[in-house]
Structure 1
Amino acid sequence: MRPMKLWLNSLRVKLFSGLLFTIVPLIIVLLVINYYSTQVVRNQVAQSNKNMLSLYMGQIDRNLQEVDNFLINLSQTNLDLLHLDTDRDANENNYMKAKLRLFQTLNDNVGYYKGVDLFFIYSGMNKDLLMTQNFGSGLAERDQVAKEIVRMLQDSTVAPNVYRWFTWQSGGNHYVYHVIKTGNVYVGAWVDAKKLIIPLQFINLGSNGAALLASDRLEPMSHGDLIAQKGIQLDFNADSYTLSGKKKDYMVMGEPSNKGNFYLFALIPEKTALENLPYLQRISSMISIGAIVFLLLFIIYMRKVFLLPINRIIQAMRKLGEGRWNSRIGQYPTSTEFGIMNDTFNRMITEIQDLKINVYEEKLMHQHAELKHLQLQINPHFFLNSLNIIYNLATVKDFKLIQEMTKCLVTYFRFMFRSNSYLVTLKDELLHTKNYLRIQELRFPGILTYRIDAPEAVQSLQIPPLVIQTMVENSIKHAVNMDEPIQIDVCVNLEEDEQKQWVTIRIEDTGAGFPDHILELLQGNMDVPNEDGEHIGIWNVKRRLHLLYSDKAAIGFYHTEGKGAGVWIRIPAASHDGRGEKS
Structure 2
Amino acid sequence: MKFVYSIRTILIAGFLAVMLPTLLFMMINHFYSRDIVRDKVTETYSNTLDIFVGQTDDNLDEITNYLLKMSILDVDVGMLMSFPTNDDMYTLTKIRIDTKLKRDVDIYNVIDSVFLYHEQDIIMGTNSEYNNMKDIIQTHMGERTASSASITDDVSRRWEVRFDQRMPGGFFLLNSIEVNAGLHVGALIRLKDINESLLTQWSDGVIGDTGIWLREEDRLKNRLTENEPPVDAGATRITNVSYQTLSSSDNGKSYLVMNRPSRVVPVAYQVIVPEQALLKELSFFRNVALFAPIGLVLILSLYLIFIRKMLFKPLQELIFGMRKISLGMLDVRLKRGKTIEFEFLGETFNKMAEQIKTLKIDVYEEQLRVKQGELRQLQSQINPHFYMNSLNIIYNLAALNDTESVKKMSLHLADYFRFIMRTNSDTITIREELSHIGNYITIQQIRFPDKLACAIEADEEVTKLPIPALTLQPFVENAIIHGFKNRRKTFHISITAATSEREGQPALTLTVADNGTGYDEAVLEQLRQKRYVPQGDSGGLGIMNVIDRLSILYGDRCSIEFYNSADGGAVVTISIPLQGGGA
TM-score interval (norm. to shorter): 0.5 to 0.7
Task: Assess if the C-alpha contact under 8 Å between 1:367 and 1:547 holds in 2.
Answer: no
Distance across 1 between alignment mates of 2:255 and 2:5:
47
Distance across 2 between alignment mates of 1:87 and 1:334:
115
2:356 is paired with a residue of what secondary structure? Answer: helix
Question: Displacement of 1:421 after TM fit?
Answer: 2.3
Post-superposition CA distance 1:530-569 (Å, at most 9, x none): xxxx97x99789657634543758799xxxxxxxxx9998
Please say if 1:99 is aligned against 2:88: no
2:270 is paired with a residue of what secondary structure? Answer: strand
Distance across 2 between alignment mates of 1:469 and 1:131:
118
Partner of 2:142: 154
Task: Assess if the C-alpha contact under 8 Å between 1:412 and 1:436 holds in 2.
Answer: yes
Question: Displacement of 1:261 after TM fit?
Answer: 4.5
Task: Assess if the C-alpha contact under 8 Å between 2:413 and 2:443 holds in 1.
Answer: yes
Which 10-residue stretch deviates more, 76-85 or 304-313? 304-313
Partner of 1:32: 28
**Structure whose alpha-carbon radius of gyration is higher:** 1
1:455 counterpart letter in structure 2: E
Partner of 1:574: 577
Task: Assess if the C-alpha contact under 8 Å between 1:555 and 1:567 holds in 2.
Answer: no
1:183 aligned to which of 180, 184, 201: 180
Distance across 1 between alignment mates of 2:206 and 2:336:
54
Identity of aligned residues (%): 25
Post-superposition CA distance 1:242-264 (Å, at most 9, x none): 22353462222344455544444
Which 10-residue stretch deviates more, 298-307 or 77-86? 298-307
Task: Assess if the C-alpha contact under 8 Å between 2:318 and 2:334 holds in 1.
Answer: no
Which 10-residue stretch deviates more, 258-267 or 141-150? 258-267
Which segments of 5 or more consecutive residues in structure 1 lack a partner in the other structure? Answer: 390-397, 477-486, 510-522, 557-565
Task: Assess if the C-alpha contact under 8 Å between 2:30 and 2:285 holds in 1.
Answer: no
Partner of 1:559: none
Which 10-residue stretch deviates more, 7-16 or 276-285? 7-16
Question: Displacement of 1:50 after TM fit?
Answer: 2.3
Please say if 1:170 is aligned against 2:164: yes
2:185 counterpart letter in structure 1: V
Partner of 2:108: 113
Partner of 1:492: 495
Distance across 1 between alignment mates of 2:259 and 2:448:
119
Partner of 2:203: 204
2:203 counterpart letter in structure 1: N
1:353 aligned to which of 352, 357, 371: 357
2:469 aligned to which of 450, 465, 476: 465
Task: Assess if the C-alpha contact under 8 Å between 2:496 and 2:512 holds in 1.
Answer: yes
Distance across 2 between alignment mates of 1:508 and 1:239:
90
1:492 is paired with a residue of what secondary structure? Answer: strand
Question: Displacement of 1:34 after TM fit?
Answer: 2.9
Distance across 1 between alignment mates of 2:447 and 2:546:
33
Change (3 A) 1:88 1:422: same
Partner of 1:250: 255
Change (3 A) 1:130 1:253: same
Post-superposition CA distance 1:366-386 (Å, at most 9, x none): 44356567878969x98xx99
Larger RCO, structures 1/2 (Cα 8 Å, 6+ apart): 1
Change (3 A) 1:97 1:468: closer
Partner of 2:45: 49
Please say if 1:525 is aligned against 2:521: no
Task: Assess if the C-alpha contact under 8 Å between 2:511 and 2:574 holds in 1.
Answer: yes
Distance across 1 between alignment mates of 2:124 and 2:476:
126
2:329 is paired with a residue of what secondary structure? Answer: coil
1:121 counterpart letter in structure 2: L
Which 10-residue stretch deviates more, 324-333 or 32-41? 324-333
1:83 aligned to which of 74, 79, 85: 79
Distance across 2 between alignment mates of 1:103 and 1:440:
132
Post-superposition CA distance 1:246-300 (Å, at most 9, x none): 3462222344455544444333222222222163454234324433554566566
Change (3 A) 1:297 1:150: farther
Please say if 1:192 is aligned against 2:190: yes
1:573 is paired with a residue of what secondary structure? Answer: strand
Post-superposition CA distance 1:458-514 (Å, at most 9, x none): 6344333356678999999xxxxxxxxxx99875335999766542458999xxxxx
Distance across 1 between alignment mates of 2:51 and 2:346:
78
Question: Displacement of 1:155 after TM fit?
Answer: 1.9
Partner of 2:366: 362
Distance across 1 between alignment mates of 2:476 and 2:265:
113
1:421 counterpart letter in structure 2: S
Distance across 2 between alignment mates of 1:177 and 1:447:
118
Question: Displacement of 1:68 after TM fit?
Answer: 4.3
Which 10-residue stretch deviates more, 145-154 or 429-438? 429-438
Post-superposition CA distance 1:339-397 (Å, at most 9, x none): 65355435423432332222222332344356567878969x98xx99xx9xxxxxxxx
Question: Displacement of 1:128 after TM fit?
Answer: 1.5
Taking the TM superposition and a 5 Å limit, the aligned residue runs for 1:539-558 are 546-547=548-549, 549-550=551-552
Task: Assess if the C-alpha contact under 8 Å between 1:37 and 1:281 holds in 2.
Answer: no
Partner of 1:71: 67
Question: Displacement of 1:150 after TM fit?
Answer: 2.2
Change (3 A) 1:555 1:109: closer
Question: Displacement of 1:142 after TM fit?
Answer: 1.1
Partner of 1:279: 284
Question: Displacement of 1:85 after TM fit?
Answer: 3.9
Question: Displacement of 1:454 after TM fit?
Answer: 1.8
Post-superposition CA distance 1:193-244 (Å, at most 9, x none): 344434853743654733444445654443x3422x6323365455522223
Aligned length: 521
Partner of 2:527: none
Distance across 2 between alignment mates of 1:508 and 1:493:
15
Distance across 1 between alignment mates of 2:57 and 2:561:
105
Question: Displacement of 1:145 after TM fit?
Answer: 0.9
The alignment's C-alpha RMSD in Å is: 5.5
Distance across 1 between alignment mates of 2:17 and 2:280:
33
Task: Assess if the C-alpha contact under 8 Å between 2:60 and 2:264 holds in 1.
Answer: yes
Partner of 2:427: 423
Please say if 1:129 is aligned against 2:122: yes
2:245 is paired with a residue of what secondary structure? Answer: strand
2:364 counterpart letter in structure 1: Y
Partner of 2:524: none
2:577 is paired with a residue of what secondary structure? Answer: coil
Distance across 1 between alignment mates of 2:579 and 2:84:
122
- Normalised by the length of structure 2, the TM-score is 0.68
1:456 aligned to which of 458, 463, 476: 458
Question: Displacement of 1:302 after TM fit?
Answer: 5.1
Change (3 A) 1:409 1:205: same
Taking the TM superposition and a 5 Å limit, the aligned residue runs for 1:466-485 are none
Task: Assess if the C-alpha contact under 8 Å between 1:502 and 1:573 holds in 2.
Answer: yes
Distance across 1 between alignment mates of 2:34 and 2:3:
40
Distance across 2 between alignment mates of 1:546 and 1:440:
27
Task: Assess if the C-alpha contact under 8 Å between 2:333 and 2:350 holds in 1.
Answer: no
Task: Assess if the C-alpha contact under 8 Å between 2:199 and 2:205 holds in 1.
Answer: no
